[in-house]
Structure 1
Amino acid sequence: MVITEVSLRKFTTDVFLAMGCNAAHAQLAADVLLKADLRGIDSHGVARLTGYVRLWEKKRINAQPNIQVVHQTATTATVDGDAGLGLVTAPFAMQLAIEKAKQFGSGWVAVRNSNHFGIAGYHALMAVEQDMIGFAVTNASPLVVPTFSNERMLGTNPICYGFPAGQYPPVVIDMATSAAANGKLEIAQRAGNAVPEGWIQDKDGGYTTDPFALKSGGALLPLGSDRDHGSHKGFGLASVVDILSGVLSGANYGPWVPPFVAFLEPSANPVGEGIGHFVGAMRIDGFRPADDFKSHMDNWITRFKSASRIDEQQGVVIPGEPEYEAEIDRRQNGIPLVDAVVADLNEVAGKLNVSPLTT
């Protein structure tokens, strides 16, 4: 099914309203999910919506949170999300970081007691829109093994930086610190496809291409896949995300991070509260005039795009470029959803007395 942005936005907002979210939170949460679908990151868009609903049904998501700043200085803060949607809590934290940056040059906000926050790029781009450098990370359900281990200890723990440019779209580096994001496995599962070697290991630590291997004790591998190809670097990056998001904020970290799926229970002995995020904003004019920076960003992009090619048909792709192009296309031509996602969404919509998805 291909559905218009307007129709999908209304459907998603209606689901969040049916969960008990207020209008502002429902619209914001829908906007975060739609941004993922528009940018072609299908694994983190409305395909995730039913997951939030099921966690809400288990009373693990608070649809009416009292989000509070519990500690702050001029340039830093810690936010308690009151078990609310990360789709709402993280934008709250980034807006706070932006306001601090406007006044003092930079702002850094740690978040605890939250839930899955969608694509990291959404939050980083909030700062980019203000001529700032945006930064966003989050820890996540433990699905990833450290190098040399077969025990799930870390999430896919994405890192995102966003940089504004002038005539070009922003440079956005938004990536998992695992060899592949879990959503990529879900896409392969729905399509019945094998995944590339190096994404997953089985319960004994051997490579497998079975996208369902996680359900039989397997795990995702860190970025780099194995020690010979740099998995210790992926492990290191994931650790940075986990420490900033969890240890610094007072959220859970490592194997204690609560699972995103409703049928798995959180740890009986948590070390913190909920999932954690960490976001930041830096004013470019704290370093040099913003127009100068953006002009040189354009020059940087132009030069990299003109780099000599191995294959004349394939040039250098600037980080964020495919997502920018996808957003232009999907705003005009609609958002494609696979049948399995549509069926799942409509099943939940029926339970919540929400009108089903239609083209």
Structure 2
Amino acid sequence: MTNEISYLTFDVEKLTQFTIAIFEQMGVPAKDAALAADVLIKADLRGIDSHGVARLSGYVRLWQKGRINPTPNIRIVHETPTTATIDGDAGLGLVVAPFAMQGAMEKAEKYGSGWVAVKNSNHFGIAGYHSMMALQKDMIGLSMTNASPLVAPTFSTERMLGTNPICYAFPAGKYPPVVMDMATSSAANGKLEIAQRKDIEVPEGWIQDEYGNSTTDPNGLKKGGSLLPLGSDREHGSHKGFCLSSIVDILSSVLSGGSYGPWVPPFVSFLDPLPDQPGEGIGHFLGALRVDGFRPADEFKQHMDNWVSRFKSAQTVEGQDAVIIPGEPETAAELERNKSGIPLISVVVDDLKCLAAKMAITFPETK
């Protein structure tokens, strides 16, 4: 294997306009295309390259397969003052999830908290985008989604759960918000895809082969293996990762009426959903809590600053300068990339150029 990796850097606005053009070519209305592009570009800006424009060709293939509805009728199908269930009508999760989060925030403004479950959706990008929407209103945001079954539960070799990410976003004062955005598997599938593109091995504990043996082969999933829950194995707490992932699956789809467990529709277009679906599409769960429902917002943010400051000053192990606060690396990446541009590895650039040619859209020049 080789560690030779080449990057090309692109202007943020030009890459955004290209992404919008791809979605519009799929028949997505201009407003929704801009929103979908914003979700993907936000991932690239925050350094979560696995969930940015590298995913574009995957969305196009699903649309070509008829599994994404570019003009969905997103609607509430069940509602109380503080809760709702939304049918995404097979729309882009990049559009459906922000719609749901906006609904949760509106309920929170009136009643202190709002909770929205979603069914019949698709891959929604980074969970952080949706949780962070709540920050603008001095709210705590929560978002999670189930995903294609790639993860085997503890003591199993069968793929039963997705990477099932979960994210909390907390507003702060002088410091950036604290954003905890993570997969409930040992690694997100997107990181595995990056390793495949870079042709490098993955760390021990990410994957097991079809017999349940640990492997560092980035193509282990393609050979019949599975991702492992957070914790990797029972001795290192994988049962806790399994439990967290199960919570995401249940809240996202058992609660909403979406498909769950091994029935969650696969992201890749050449695999069809399993027969006898117990629900409709991918599910999400989003929530918003008004900080001032618990204590004055300014007071809370002052103490969040104190929390951050104290953790940053914690004594560190040898060779480390400071404790890393959740969301801190992503905030730093966003500041830098907004100025310098978005770096993409060459194989992703080649994929996007091929997509541009097929859809008759001009691909932007490097910065």
Into which bin does the TM-score normalised by the smaller protein fall?
A: over 0.9
**Aligned counterparts of 1:347 and 1:312: Cα–Cα separation in 2:** 44
Q: Which runs of 5+ in 2 are unaligned?
A: 1-7
Task: Please give the residue correspondences for 1:273-352 in structure 2 after superposition, counting only pairs within 5 Å.
Answer: 273-311=280-318, 313-352=320-359
Cα offset for 1:312? 5.4
Task: Tell me how far apart the structure 2 counterparts of residues 262 and 163 of structure 1 sit (CA, whole Å).
Answer: 36
Which one of 105, 120, 124 corresponds to residue 112 of structure 2?
105
Is 1:19 the counterpart of 2:2? The answer is no
- Helix, strand or coil for the counterpart of 2:221? helix
Q: Is the 8 A contact 1:34 1:46 kept in 2?
A: yes
Q: Where does 1:197-208 land on structure 2 (aligned, <5 Å)?
A: 197-208=204-215
SS in structure 1 opposite 2:114? strand
For residues 183-237 of structure 1, the C-alpha deviation after alignment (integer angstroms, 9 at most, x for no partner) is 1111111111000110000000000000001001100000000000000000000
Indicate the SS of the match to 1:210.
coil
Secondary structure (helix, strand or coil) at the match of 2:286 reads strand
- State the secondary structure of the residue aligned to 2:222: helix
Partner of 1:45: 52
- Choose 342-351 or 38-47, whichever is displaced more: 342-351
In structure 1, what residue type is equivalent to 2:262? P
Counterpart code for 1:233: K
1:72 equivalent in alignment to 2:64: no
Corresponding residue to 1:176 among 171, 174, 183: 183
Assess if the C-alpha contact under 8 Å between 1:134 and 1:163 holds in 2: yes
1:106-129 CA-to-partner distances (Å, cap 9, x unmatched) read 000000000000000000000112
Does residue 240 in structure 1 map to residue 247 in structure 2? Answer: yes
Report the equivalent of 2:3.
none
Residue 211 (structure 1) aligned with residue 208 (structure 2): no
Alignment length (residue pairs):
359
Shift of 1:333: 0.2
Match of 2:202 in 1: 195
Aligned to 1:266: 273
* Separation in 2, partners of 1:149, 1:12: 39
Q: What is the aligned counterpart of 2:134 among 121, 127, 135?
A: 127
Deviation of the 1:352 alpha carbon: 1.3
Q: Which residue number corresponds to residue 255 of structure 1?
A: 262
- Structure 1 residues 305-314 or 105-114, which shifts more? 305-314
Q: Deviations over 1:314-353 (max 9, x none)?
A: 3100000000000000000000001111111111111111
337-346 or 119-128, which deviates more: 337-346
Q: CA RMSD in A?
A: 0.6
Unaligned runs of 5+ in 1: none
SS in 2 for 1:269: coil
Moved over 3 A (4+): none
SS in 2 for 1:337: strand
Deviates more, 1:192-201 or 1:340-349: 340-349
Conserved? CA contact 1:51–1:262, under 8 Å: yes
Structure 2: distance between partners of 1:128 and 1:8 = 26
Do the aligned residues in 2 keep the contact of 1:346 with 1:357 (CA within 8 Å)?
Answer: no
The equivalent residue for 2:61 is 54
Q: SS of the residue aligned with 2:288?
A: strand
Match of 1:114 among 110, 121, 124: 121
CA offsets 1:36-92 (integer angstroms, 9 cap, x no match)? 000000000000011000000000000111100111100000000000000000000
Superposed displacement of residue 357, structure 1:
2.9
Distance 1:341 1:264 in 2: 22
Q: Is the 8 A contact 1:144 1:153 kept in 2?
A: yes
Q: Tell me the distance in 1 between the aligned counterparts of 2:240 and 2:275.
A: 31
Residue 137 of structure 2 aligns to a residue whose secondary structure is coil
Q: Which residue of 2 aligns with 1:87?
A: 94
Task: Kindly provide the amino acid, as one letter, of the partner of residue 349 in structure 2.
Answer: V
Q: CA deviation at 1:299?
A: 0.2
> Which residue, out of 2, 7, 11, partners 2:9?
2
Amino acid corresponding to residue 21 of structure 2 in structure 1: D
Q: Which has the higher mean CA deviation after the structures are superposed, 226-235 or 342-351? A: 342-351
Structure 2 counterpart SS, 1:37: helix
Alignment of 1:156-175 (within 5 A): 156-175=163-182
CA–CA separation in structure 1 for the residues paired with 2:28 and 2:221: 32
